[in-house]
Chain A
Amino acid sequence: DQQVKQNSPSLSVQEGRISILNCDYTNSMFDYFLWYKKYPAEGPTFLISISSIKDKNEDGRFTVFLNKSAKHLSLHIVPSQPGDSAVYFCAARPSGGTSYGKLTFGQGTILTVHP
């Protein structure tokens, strides 16, 4: 049972344009969501997160939107740069006192930004 889904295995974008990566979840107990970026042979790098009490969080070129009713979140990267080319993972964490490290990940989306 895939509780976090990233339905697009890959996305190709021109440099300077917007990249939109999508993520859907099924578990209503998830209350915190994170996006990670991963290069080959490296560990995931934290990008941005959002709590379920918000619908938007912005950090520089990265914005995450959360639609709780649709159980959907998206990551917007504007403007996209070639260095953004990597695998992007959406992750969700359940509510609960000691659930800090219990993340459920999606399968990842490979983003390629062309110069």
Chain B
Amino acid sequence: ETGVTQSPTHLIKTRGQQVTLRCSSQSGHNTVSWYQQALGQGPQFIFQYYREEENGRGNFPPRFSGLQFPNYSSELNVNALELDDSALYLCASSSTGGNTIYFGEGSWLTVV
């Protein structure tokens, strides 16, 4: 039990639609990062949020966006969904100066 919770756990969307995934970070953790894990691959860093601002971004297009709220929870939004967006989306939380990053169970997104 990492204390990082994600919702929904599974969802199916149609190409072109938009999706919002949610994450509640572990208590006391002020940094949230999002990852995309395609089948058979390692997780790929999407972006990180620290104190409600994006702080670092991986190689993902602008249609991937996010928010972090004052309670450190976070959202990942993906617009104009493509078939290749089908993946497991992982949220991770960590604290300033902390060395361990804890992951949630993930949200499985299928785009049809």
Contact = CB atoms under 8 A, between A and B. Distances in A.
Query: Are both chains from one complex?
Result: yes
Interface of A: 4, 6, 32, 34, 36, 41-46, 49, 51, 89, 91, 93, 98-108
A43 B106 contact: yes
B106 A98 contact: no
30 contacts: A6-B42, A34-B101, A42-B105, A43-B103, A43-B105, A45-B2, A45-B103, A46-B2, A46-B100, A46-B102, A46-B103, A49-B99, A49-B100, A51-B99, A91-B42, A99-B56, A100-B48, A100-B50, A100-B94, A100-B95, A100-B98, A100-B99, A101-B31, A101-B56, A101-B101, A102-B45, A102-B56, A104-B45, A105-B35, A108-B42
Nearest to B101: A101
Given A4-B42, A34-B101, A43-B103, 8 more contacts: A34-B100, A43-B105, A44-B103, A91-B42, A98-B31, A101-B56, A101-B94, A105-B35
